[in-house]
């Protein structure tokens, strides 16, 4: 779930007013873990990790093996 900046601001404001993480999460419809993460202030919703996936490794041996079974069928 992507948290918008307005929800982030609401989380921070309500937490500083003394509302519990559980109550904020229930009222806003987000997980307690997400609310906790933003209450701690260690991250901001506009800051995202770069996701890099390792390329799949299909060797010539594996490719030949798979194609061989396709030909058999």
Could you give the domains of the chain? 5-70 (1.10.10)
- Is the confidence at residue 73, as pLDDT, over 90? no
Q: Helix, strand or coil for residue 48?
A: coil
Q: Are 37 and 12 contacting, i.e. CB atoms less than 8 angstroms apart?
A: no
CA distance 17 to 9: 12
Mean pLDDT of 36-51: 76
- Is the confidence at residue 31, as pLDDT, over 90? yes
User: What pLDDT was estimated at residue 49?
Assistant: 66
CA distance 31 to 62: 42
């Amino acid at each position: 779930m992507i948290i918008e900046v307005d929800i982030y601001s609401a989380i921070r404001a309500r937490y500083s007013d003394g509302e519990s993480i559980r109550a904020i999460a229930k009222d806003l419809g987000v997980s307690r873990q997400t609310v906790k993460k933003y209450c701690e202030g260690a991250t901001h919703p506009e800051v995202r990790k770069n996701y890099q996936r390792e390329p799949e490794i299909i060797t010539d041996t594996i490719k030949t093996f798979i194609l061989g079974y396709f030909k058999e069928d």
